[in-house]
Structure 1
């Protein structure tokens, strides 16, 4: 009886591991037009802006302290369980100098359109290989996203 149980468990495990990830194909082996149409269009992707609605973010060179405080409170709640304020990786990469390496548009688009950026952006894909965990969508409003960006700027030394 134990052998039958083990055999069934192995069979279920193998069935689960081999299921449904392969693309649908037509009888001649080509991908269906439905699958091709859903493939991400990377050719028109702007790596400086990212993928999303933020095309131009106006940043005052001087820090908005009230907005940075709101961003700190939001990031304490939604971000800092996975990110450190240093360059040290926790679950996700550290935030040190993130505003020096990326444009405000890129950062805000990544915070609000995470899945599309993971699928298209080479920098995000490289981070994913290191961290091995996809960032979840935090359902941030535009205002919340901008506040977190201001806190990131403060963390990077903007005064």
Structure 2
């Protein structure tokens, strides 16, 4: 009989130990190691000192280095509207309201034409190499913008459409 008492206690003791182990594992899983403050900017989750909502003169990173803007061309803007409707509207609004991505009202007043076109053309490279684009993605916890297989001409047309929207 003494053995049967030990056997009765063993499952209870085993259950208690397993429960304590599980609880301690759950608690330690919620603890995160401290952030490495000395890590390069590309590894940090945000870039101190960069306000993505502030005006920036950056041209960004990419093929568009010098964009000359004459008066808004209505035909190009209309083509840009078509491109925007087919490739951009699912994530962006033309207001200041955030959708999946940021609202684009006023974008041409705080970003250079080159930055906008580089972001449209190759957002992956911009987020990796441009501090403003990285800060924007990090601050708003945005998903990665995908490049829509857009041509140079379509980029320019979307820029024209955004310019015309900002003049309303």
Judge which range, 145-154 or 125-134, deviates more: 125-134
Distance 1:83 1:73 in 2: 14
* Paired position in structure 2 for 1:117: 126
Name the residue aligned to 1:127. 136
TM-score (norm 1): 0.67
- Are 1:91 and 2:100 an aligned pair? yes
Distance 1:113 1:104 in 2: 14
> Where does structure 2 lack aligned partners over 5 or more consecutive residues?
1-41, 43-56
**Residue by residue, what CA displacement relative to the aligned partner does 1:93-117 show, whole Å, maximum 9, x if unpaired?**
0011100000001111111121111
TM-aligned CA deviation for residue 126 of structure 1:
2.2
| RMSD over aligned Cα atoms | 1.8
Match runs of 1:4-153 below 5 Å: 48-60=58-70, 62-129=71-138, 130-153=140-163
1:122 is displaced (CA, Å) by 2.1
Distance in 1 of aligned mates of 2:132 and 2:154: 23
Higher alpha-carbon Rg: 2
Unmatched 5+ stretches in structure 1? 1-38, 40-46
Structure 2 CA distance, aligned partners of 1:64 and 1:85? 18
Give the number of equivalent residue pairs.
113
What's the TM-score, normalizing by structure 2?
Answer: 0.64
State how far apart, in whole Å, the 2-side matches of 1:119 and 1:155 are: 28
